[in-house]
A and B are shown apart, each in its own frame.
Chain A
Amino acid sequence: MFKKFSPSSDISGQSILKSSVQRTIRTNILSHFKVDPDTFEHIWPKKESLVLVKCREHISLYTVNGTPLFFQHFDGPYFPTLKLLHKYPFLLPRVTVDRGAIRFLLGGAHMMCPGFTSAGGELPPPEEALPAGTPVAIMSEGKEHAVGIGITKLSTEEIKSVNKGVGVETVCYLGDDLWNVDTV
């Protein structure tokens, strides 16, 4: 999503959101991210207003004090930015790819099922299975920090059983053009 993204030409406008809209977003994010309101207050203090940065191809970037915190495609789910996820690693459920997949991911590739089912990969156990369309933190074998953020294309149980094709679509990753944007 952010493989090619240049703030100067891909941003079409910024606006401070109405407080009622901000509240809806806050409630939405709180119900989807694994975070309690107190911690979330650190991330996005109530007194700070959320700025919507409209980008090309219906990508909405949300910033607080100029720092990108969340983004969204069309009216899909909200994602934290990778830097925010690094600070609060519990925000999203995790899936793990094996070491061999890392360099493909860093090239922007979507993640194939075998990358999760091989020895180095890891998926949540059946009782914590994630449905398709869930934002996930993509971890990688032997590393401490997330390497990217994705959205499940199949449910995690299906990834295990089908075991071929794309399992998780990559939305952003280390070194993509969103990673390099610190402030907007």
Chain B
Amino acid sequence: MPRRRAQRRSPSPDSEEKAGDKSEADVKSVPQTEESSAALETSESVEIGGKEPLAVLYCAVCSFPPEYCEFGSHLTKCKAWLQESHPDLFEKYYSETALIAKAGALSLEAAKKLEEDSIKKEAKAEAKAESAAKKRASAKVTIKRIERNKRKHITAIHGLEAFDIDLKKAAKVFAQKFATGASVTKNAAGQDEIVVQGDVSDEVEEMLEKGGGALGPGIGGDSGVDYNDTALPREQFKTP
């Protein structure tokens, strides 16, 4: 522990140096930090000496620490996950004794209410997930070629966000690939779309089907769509 501290110390002076041309206020702040560090080390270092961050386990289903899964909306799934991947913790949180201890903390009525609540919540979440899945399955990506003037075109791609694609990153990928400009803009309906300079609709289609990098796992789809300067919504194959 002390050795680590010494090592960590060393980069600080030279970063101070790098910061270079200081105003008066800056110079002042340096001794201040040193001072407070000294104070803390003598008085409280025993208590908060833990330098390493705590590795907190988060539930793969609801993202809460597993002890809070019971308040989430996927309790059944959370439990299954925990039992599978961390049986010891499952025992800790959901064993008979743990449940009894918990029940003791609440009146019977409140406990009942909580249980009802979590069942309701779960049903709600399920319905929501289902409708989201349906929406995804029917999601369409539109690739539009828009004429800018006689021989110049831009390509607008709309609907990628339904496939969990980061639009900004995707735009960058297109810009790099085609060596043109690409940006995320709002269309007339106020929805985000990617606009690429030049007519790259065929290539974009191909890239999207294949996926990779920022374009995710690929959105699948049929080819043979023809582009007649109009938007042709493309049916999606089902998504996972």
Report yes or no: B51 in contact with A141, Cβ–Cβ below 8 A: no
Distance A32 CA – B6 CA, assembled complex (angstroms): 24
Report yes or no: B54 in contact with A88, Cβ–Cβ below 8 A: yes
Kindly identify, within residues 114 to 136 of chain B, every residue whose CB is under 8 Å from any CB belonging to chain A: 114, 117
Distance A174 CA – B66 CA, assembled complex (angstroms): 12
Could you say which of A36-44, A57-65, A123-131, A164-172 contacts chain B? A36-44
Give the contacting residue for A36; candidates B37, B54, B106; CB below 8 A.
B37
Distance A182 CA – B64 CA, assembled complex (angstroms): 13
**B171 → A minimal CB distance (Å):** 13
- Whether A20 contacts B25 in the complex (CB less than 8 A), given A27-B33, A47-B15, A103-B117, comes out as yes
**B51 → A minimal CB distance (Å):** 5
Give the contacting residue for B65; candidates A26, A31, A39, A86; CB below 8 A.
A86
Distance A90 CA – B64 CA, assembled complex (angstroms): 19
Q: Fill in one digit per residue for A75-110: 1 if any B CB lies within 8 Å of its CB, else 0.
A: 000000000001111100000001110110010000
Report yes or no: B8 in contact with A41, Cβ–Cβ below 8 A: yes
Give the contacting residue for A87; candidates B22, B54, B101; CB below 8 A.
B54
Could you say which of B38-46, B137-145, B223-231 contacts chain A? B38-46
Query: For residue B25, which residue of chain A has the nearest CB?
Result: A20
Chain B neighbourhood of A98, CB < 8 A: 105
Distance A120 CA – B114 CA, assembled complex (angstroms): 16
Interface size of A by CB at 8 A reads 43
Q: Fill in one digit per residue for A19-63: 1 if any B CB lies within 8 Å of its CB, else 0.
A: 110011011001100111111011101110000000000000000
Indicate if A175 sits at the interface (CB-CB under 8 A): yes
Distance A80 CA – B67 CA, assembled complex (angstroms): 21
Main secondary structure of the interface of B (DSSP, over half): helix
Report yes or no: A147 in contact with B63, Cβ–Cβ below 8 A: no
Indicate if A180 sits at the interface (CB-CB under 8 A): yes
Distance A19 CA – B19 CA, assembled complex (angstroms): 7
Query: For residue A140, which residue of chain B has the nearest CB?
Result: B68
Distance A106 CA – B121 CA, assembled complex (angstroms): 13
Chain A neighbourhood of B37, CB < 8 A: 36-38
Report yes or no: A147 in contact with B192, Cβ–Cβ below 8 A: no
Indicate if B95 sits at the interface (CB-CB under 8 A): no
Give the contacting residue for A142; candidates B29, B45, B102, B114; CB below 8 A.
B102
Give the contacting residue for B48; candidates A39, A142, A145; CB below 8 A.
A39
Indicate if A2 sits at the interface (CB-CB under 8 A): no
- Whether A8 contacts B48 in the complex (CB less than 8 A), given A87-B53, A144-B65, comes out as no
Q: Fill in one digit per residue for B48-64: 1 if any A CB lies within 8 Å of its CB, else 0.
A: 10111111100000111
**A143 → B minimal CB distance (Å):** 5
Give the contacting residue for B67; candidates A100, A120, A144; CB below 8 A.
A144
| 14 A-B contact pairs sorted by A residue (CB < 8 Å) | A20-B25, A27-B29, A37-B40, A38-B37, A38-B51, A42-B52, A88-B53, A99-B105, A100-B110, A103-B117, A106-B68, A106-B71, A174-B68, A175-B64
- For the complex with contacts A26-B33, A27-B32, A38-B9, 5 further pairs of A-B residues with Cβ separation under 8 Å are A20-B23, A36-B37, A41-B8, A142-B101, A145-B56
Interface set of A (CB-CB < 8 Å, partner B): 8, 19-20, 23-24, 26-27, 30-31, 34-39, 41-43, 45-47, 86-90, 98-100, 102-103, 106, 120, 141-145, 147, 174-175, 179-180
Q: Nearest 5 CB-CB pairs, A to B?
A: A87-B53, A36-B40, A37-B37, A86-B56, A46-B15
